[in-house]
Every structure is written in structure tokens, then in C-alpha cells.
Amino acid sequence: MRRYVVPLALVVLLAVVPKLAIDVPVLFADGLNTPGTLQLLALMLVFAGVAFTYDLLFGYTGLLSFGHALYFAVGVYLAAIAMTKWHWGFWPSVFLTAALGLVLPLLVGAVSLRVGGIAFAMVTLAFAQAGSVLAFKNPGRLTGGEDGFGVDYTKLPSGLVGILNTKNLYWLALAYAVGVFLVGRGAVNSSPGHVWQAIRENELRVQVLGLRTFDFKLMSFVLASFLATIGGIVYLTLISGASPSVTTPDFTLALLVMVVIGGAGARWGAMLGGVVYTYLDHRLGDVAGSHAVSTLPSVLRTPIQQPTFILGLVFILVVYFAPGGLARLSRIGRRPLALEEIEA
């Protein structure tokens, strides 16, 4: 029982944030309960969840996919297209998207999982790249091409529209993050979940025990992708539009960076990574424009102005000195674990 006190307290604390008129200098530009900060916090929570879905694949089952962005993008685009181009209502759009979020990974996974290792990574990349090309190509003027398009906000529930309702979006994002965590942890601790982790360790041994690893891998693939699709829908409500940047390999790589920085296969590592990455990605841009930075010599100033540079650097440092991620910082100084050796 004691194990649940801290996480529960954390969730409660997060839930009351929109009521807290507190200023956190340096870390946030405005007070905690302002729409701007709440929006950022909500994004951090969404990506905490999506990063965890990627961790289910990579950190727990050992499947290195380069195409996870596809399922997130389906969540964003299909819901947006249904509401905006086909004029469907909100809930029908959500159900349609959720249904595709189940069927698509089932089909794609059944094909991709026939191969393993690098081949699997490349096939998943290929499928995601196909999706990306479609998004940019704008078939039937559905996807908006390079610029994407804004969602028809009249289709969204009124509680989720408008600056004053940012706190509702925040709570939605919190619910998503908590939901993904509960479902994910539940799955990981179940007996199929144990098989996933055994597969990550040594797939051959699992097969020798008579288990059809294909089925288990597919299960993990579908669950992770489905949860990512839901995340895409939540993300859509947050930013009210679809843009092709969520379909690119860069996006999947960002998820990979989140998971590794936070700690692959560690309890809340991926979520921590998602939070930290999203925060830095947004705030570093602000910091870069600040007065303090503009006084630095240009050699230092120019790299700092690109958040991706700092993130890439942090990523390299983590891989070198703390390959277990932030969640396992207590291991620093001891022999670094190869990722293959890391236990959940």
C-alpha cells in the first residue's frame, strides 16, 4: 500500500495545478494556472503518455520500431479529417479513429513482425514513411499537405474549446497520461507482459519454451500503437490542428530520445523523458530569445538557439554516462549497463 502513496500524491498534486496561482520563476514564463503554462504542462503530459507507449515496444519488448509516429499521426489526422472534412461529430470521429488505431497496427504488425532486428526497424520505417508521403501529398485535399490544416472547432466538445477551457484540456491530458500508465503497467505486470520482457532478453529461449513469440510481439505492438493513437486524438484537441511534422521519422526519433533519456523499460522512466524533452523543446526556445543568452558570445549563443542541438547533446551525454536514463541515475559511477542488460 505504501508504494502507492507517492504516485497518488503526485497525481493529486498535478490535478490541482490549474487552481494554483503560483509563479515559478525561470522554469515557467507565467503563473501555473495561466493558459500558457497549462498548455505547456498539458503537452508535457501527453508526450509522457506517448513516450510510455513507445517504451512498451522498445523498452519492455525490445522491438526497435522507427515507425511509431504513424499511429500517433493516425490519431491526429483521422480525427481531424473526420470532423473537419467529413463533418462528423466528435464522438463518432473518436470511435472511428480508435477503431483504426486497433486495426492498422494489427495489419501492419502482422506483416512487419515477420522479420526481426534491423529488418523490422526498416519495415516499420517504410510504413511510416508511406504515411508521411501521403500526408504531404494531400490526396483528395484531405490532409492539407505541407501546411496541414486547422480542425473545425465547432465539432469539438464545448468544454475543450477556448482559452478559458485550457484547464479542461490539461485535465484531459493528465487523464490520458495516468490512463496510459495504468494500462501500460497493468499490461507489463501481466503474464503476457512478462513474456514481452523475456522476449526482450532472449527471444530464442522463449521460443524454445514453446511460446509463439509472434503473437506476443503483435499484442505489444497493437497495444502500444493503439494507446499512441489515442494520444494523437488528445494532442489534436490540444493544438487544434494537424500538421505533417508528426508523421516524420524525426518524430519517432524524438520518442526514442525521450525514452532513452528517461530510462528505457524503467517504471516511470519514459514518462519522465517525455516530460523533460517536451519541456526543454519548448522552453529552450524561449530561453534562447532571452536577454541573458543574447549577451553570450555567438559561439555559445548560436547552438543554444536551436533546442534540438541541446537535446541532441543531452541525449549523447545520457547514452554515454547514464545509459539507464534519468530514472536510474543512482547507477552513475558504477559500470554502465548495456541496454540489453537493463531490467525493468
Partner 1 sequence: MSTVILLAITGFGLGAMYFLVASGLSLIYGLMGVLNFAHGAFLTVGAYATWYAETKLGGLPVVPRFLVAALVGLVAGGVFAALVELVLIRPLYSRHIEQVLVTVGLALCVSALVTAIWGTDPRFVALPSWTQRTTGVLGASIPNDRWIEIAAAACVLAGLNLFLRRTRYGLIVRAGVENRAMVTALGIDVRRAFTLVFAVGGVAAALAGVLAALYFGTVDPQRGTSLLIYAFIVVVIGGLGSIRGTAVAALAVALVQQFANFYASAGIGDLSVVLLLALVLLARPGGLTAAAAA
Phi-psi region of 148 (alpha: psi -120 to 50; beta: other; left: phi over 0): left
SS3 190: coil
Of 6, 26, 75, nearest to 46 by C-alpha is: 75
Q: How far is the CB of 32 from partner 1 (least distance, A)?
A: 30
Give the separation between CA 261 and CA 240, rounded to whole angstroms.
Answer: 28
Determine if 320 is a binding residue for partner 1 (CB under 8 A): yes
Which residues in the 60-99 window bind partner 1 by CB under 8 A?
A: 64
Q: How far is the CB of 335 from partner 1 (least distance, A)?
A: 12
Nearest to partner 1 of 129, 229 (CB atom): 129
Give the separation between CA 143 and CA 146, rounded to whole angstroms.
Answer: 9
Which one of 29, 106, 319, 344 is in contact with partner 1 (CB under 8 A)? Answer: 319
Q: How far is CA 180 from CA 65, 207, 270, 281, in A?
A: 19, 29, 12, 22
Nearest to partner 1 of 28, 221 (CB atom): 221
Determine if 218 is a binding residue for partner 1 (CB under 8 A): no
Of 263, 293, 271, 232, nearest to 82 by C-alpha is: 232
Which one of 34, 37, 129, 143 is in contact with partner 1 (CB under 8 A)? Answer: 129
Determine if 125 is a binding residue for partner 1 (CB under 8 A): yes
Contact 40, 30 (CB under 8 A): no
Of 17-25, 36-44, 123-131, 207-215, the segment contacting partner 1 by CB under 8 A is 123-131
Which one of 51, 257, 270, 275 is in contact with partner 1 (CB under 8 A)? Answer: 257
Q: How far is CA 6 from CA 9, 12, 44, 128, in A?
A: 5, 10, 20, 38
Which one of 56, 79, 81, 123 is in contact with partner 1 (CB under 8 A)? Answer: 123
Q: How far is the CB of 72 from partner 1 (least distance, A)?
A: 18
Of 244, 238, 327, nearest to 51 by C-alpha is: 327
Q: How far is the CB of 251 from partner 1 (least distance, A)?
A: 12
SS3 215: helix
Per rule CB under 8 A, count of chain residues that contact partner 1: 44
Which one of 35, 323, 324, 325 is in contact with partner 1 (CB under 8 A)? Answer: 323
Q: How far is CA 144 from CA 137, 140, 209, 252, in A?
A: 8, 9, 50, 21
Inter-helix orientation angle 213-239/35-55, to 10°: 170
Of 11, 141, 135, 158, nearest to 77 by C-alpha is: 135
Give the separation between CA 9 and CA 230, rounded to whole angstroms.
Answer: 25
Nearest to partner 1 of 18, 67 (CB atom): 67
Which residues in the 274-313 window bind partner 1 by CB under 8 A?
A: 302-303, 305-309, 311-313
Of 14-22, 74-82, 199-207, 252-260, the segment contacting partner 1 by CB under 8 A is 252-260
Which residues in the 30-49 window bind partner 1 by CB under 8 A?
A: none
Determine if 154 is a binding residue for partner 1 (CB under 8 A): no
Nearest to partner 1 of 75, 307 (CB atom): 307
* Contacting positions for partner 1 (CB under 8 A): 64, 111-112, 114-116, 118-119, 121-123, 125-127, 129-130, 133-134, 136-137, 249-250, 253, 256-257, 260, 302-303, 305-309, 311-313, 315-316, 319-320, 323, 338-340
